């Protein structure tokens, strides 16, 4: 495992002091790991699952289904015929 070296600036010391009070049993290295994991989780949670264009296609497909505009495909042959018709 690679090592990461950090310079302890006054700002970092202040952050670590606060986090030490919250995570009393963890070492500084473990506190940093937890903080990075929480940050990553928060950032990933804010990411959309699909892009804007795909979101529009999903919305259109949902609307089409509500209006009865869909094809019933029960077999692979039905699928092949449908795809060739597009």
For residues 71 and 82, the answer to whether their CB atoms sit within 8 Å is yes
Residue 73 and residue 80: Cα distance in Å, rounded? Answer: 9
Query: What pLDDT, on the 0 to 100 scale, is given for residue 34?
Result: 92
Which tokens hold the place of 23?
A: 């995570």
pTM for the full predicted model: 0.51
Query: What pLDDT, on the 0 to 100 scale, is given for residue 85?
Result: 85
Angstrom distances, CA of residue 17 to CA of 2, 9, 10: 25, 12, 10
For residues 14 and 2, the answer to whether their CB atoms sit within 8 Å is no
What ranges do the domains of the chain cover? Answer: 10-45, 52-85
**Could you tell me the mean pLDDT of each successive run of 10 residues in the chain, 86 residues long?**
89 94 92 92 82 89 87 86 85
């Amino acid at each position: 495992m690679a090592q990461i070296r950090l310079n302890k600036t006054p700002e970092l010391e202040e952050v670590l002091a606060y986090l030490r009070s919250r995570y009393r049993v963890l070492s500084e290295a473990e506190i940093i790991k937890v903080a990075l994991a929480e940050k990553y989780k928060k950032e990933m949670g804010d990411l959309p699952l699909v892009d804007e264009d795909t979101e529009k296609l999903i919305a259109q497909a949902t609307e089409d289904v509500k209006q009865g505009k869909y094809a019933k495909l029960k077999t692979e042959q039905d699928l092949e015929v449908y795809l060739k018709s597009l």
